[in-house]
């Protein structure tokens, strides 16, 4: 067909071809749209690494970018342990794992129930993981789990009394890695171990001044050099997500220092490296919730302008490319640099805020987080004990009622009245 059209144009001129001018005018626009789509799709991972026998823990691996990361690692032979809030008996998880095994030809995909909205659940899993001799193999931890409260939404808290963005996006990861730290440090020195944090450029709008800013000096204390103090931003659903990501980024760099400071018994340098990954804006449930403000009207607008979102937002698979780059690029392995890299578009970038590298701010955040975990776990323990007691009382009441009913049935009485057809009633009759 193109050959005949070219011959017709050559011998008979352009005007002899039907609709030739509208077609020629449309081609540049289609080419421009194609180039724009390539640009917004982002960079692709060009690194490869043998992932067979590697044990990888993944949070948030059932949807969005996390799902694409799991597929990418599993297709390369990695052993995946999904940390999911769903019960292991949930049909969704069973079918999801079966599909992953079939599509990636990898049977080494399992799941563990870990609800990041519960610090008790996180502790149960992490302590079970490290309670093993010799230490279990652990090559990589990929933290993709996220939640986001729409700007127009209300502040939501977990059962332990912590704001949901703060707990799921940051505090649960802090708690998990704090407990898993011995397992990471105990890995053999020849093993390439990586901890990959999923972050977001929104961290530049976060505010941790209420935590990291030094307290004011008392009036009778010794004079100190003047310092600039700022008023913390008032907490709201609009900045909750950004603040949680700022805390996660700050903690990630502190965690690298925490690992590097450990002196191994064999005097070999620490072999665990921390990498932060910003996948960019992707067509994920979280991004959709943010764009729609969590409202039906916003969802309608989102659907109307979906071609625009398809053009300017990455697919989850392209968002996962930076995670795969962080997982497989050789330079991020053991013995290469000090760790704490920020990856975006499959390349190393500088942090947008200098305060994330401030050691004093990192120490204050770490101490604050430890206190918060301790207090939240105490509240959770009290609530669980109370719920257990109430359940026991209900069970005892039900057992007592059942025994009373059995007794009444046995003696032929019902609610204190003689039962119809009893021997005495027949005798009177």
**Gap between the Cα atoms of 70 and 60, Å rounded:** 9
Active site residue 426: no
Phi, psi for residue 158 in degrees, rounded to 5? -80, 175
- Dihedral sign, CA of 84, 86, 87, 89? negative
Task: Tell me the sheet residues that pair with 82.
Answer: 58, 111
Residue 114, SS3 per DSSP = coil
Side-chain half-sphere exposure of 274, counting CA atoms within 13 A = 22
Pick from 100, 39, 43: nearest CA to 324: 43
The active-site residue, picked from 37, 218, 222, 245, is 245
DSSP letter (8 states) at residue 354: G
Distance of CA 348 to the CA centre of its chain: 22
Q: What torsion do the CA atoms of 316, 319, 322, 328 make, to the nearest 10 degrees?
A: 10
> In terms of Cα–Cα distance, which of 176, 286, 197, 320 is closest to 250?
197
3-state secondary structure of 414: strand
CB environment 336-347: b (16+ within 10 A), e (fewer): eeebbbbbbebe
Q: What angle do CA 318, 242, 275 make, to 5 degrees?
A: 50
The position carrying tokens 């257990």 is: 388
The residues that are catalytic are 245
């Amino acid at each position: 067909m193109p050959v005949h059209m070219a011959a017709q144009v050559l011998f008979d001129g352009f005007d002899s071809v039907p609709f030739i001018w509208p077609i020629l005018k449309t081609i540049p626009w289609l080419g421009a749209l194609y180039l724009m789509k390539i640009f917004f799709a982002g960079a692709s991972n060009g690194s490869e690494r043998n992932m067979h026998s590697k044990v990888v823990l993944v949070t948030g691996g059932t949807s969005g970018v996390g799902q694409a990361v799991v597929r990418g690692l599993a297709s390369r032979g990695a052993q995946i342990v999904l940390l999911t809030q769903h019960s292991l008996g949930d049909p969704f998880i069973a079918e999801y794992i079966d599909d992953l095994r079939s599509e990636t030809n990898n049977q080494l995909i399992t799941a563990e129930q870990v609800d990041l909205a519960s610090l008790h659940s996180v502790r149960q899993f992490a302590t079970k993981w490290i309670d093993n001799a010799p230490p279990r193999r652990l090559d990589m931890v990929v933290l993709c789990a996220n939640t986001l409260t729409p700007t127009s939404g209300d502040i939501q808290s977990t059962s332990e009394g912590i704001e949901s963005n703060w707990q799921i996006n940051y505090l649960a990861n802090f708690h998990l890695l704090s407990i898993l730290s011995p397992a990471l440090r105990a890995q053999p020195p020849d093993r390439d171990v990586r901890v990959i944090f999923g972050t977001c450029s929104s961290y530049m709008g976060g505010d941790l001044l209420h935590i990291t800013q030094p307290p004011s000096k008392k009036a009778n204390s010794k004079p100190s050099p003047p310092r600039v103090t700022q008023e913390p931003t008032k907490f709201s659903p609009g900045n909750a997500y950004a603040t949680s990501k700022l805390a996660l980024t700050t903690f990630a760099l502190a965690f690298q220092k925490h690992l590097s400071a450990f002196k191994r018994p064999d005097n070999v340098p620490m072999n665990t490296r921390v990498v932060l990954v910003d996948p960019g804006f992707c067509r994920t449930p979280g991004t959709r919730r943010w764009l729609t403000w969590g409202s039906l009207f916003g969802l309608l607008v989102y659907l109307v302008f979906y071609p625009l979102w398809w053009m300017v937002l990455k697919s989850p698979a392209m968002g996962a490319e930076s995670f795969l780059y962080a997982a497989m690029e050789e330079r991020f392995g053991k013995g290469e640099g000090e760790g704490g890299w920020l990856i975006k578009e499959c390349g190393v970038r500088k942090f947008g805020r200098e305060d994330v590298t401030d050691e004093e701010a990192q120490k204050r955040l770490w101490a604050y987080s430890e206190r918060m975990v301790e207090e939240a776990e105490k509240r959770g323990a009290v609530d669980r004990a109370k719920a257990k007691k109430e359940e026991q009382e209900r069970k005892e009441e039900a057992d007592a009622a059942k025994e009373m009913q059995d007794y009444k049935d046995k003696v032929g009485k019902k609610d204190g009245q003689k039962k119809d057809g009893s021997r005495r009633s027949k005798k009177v009759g």
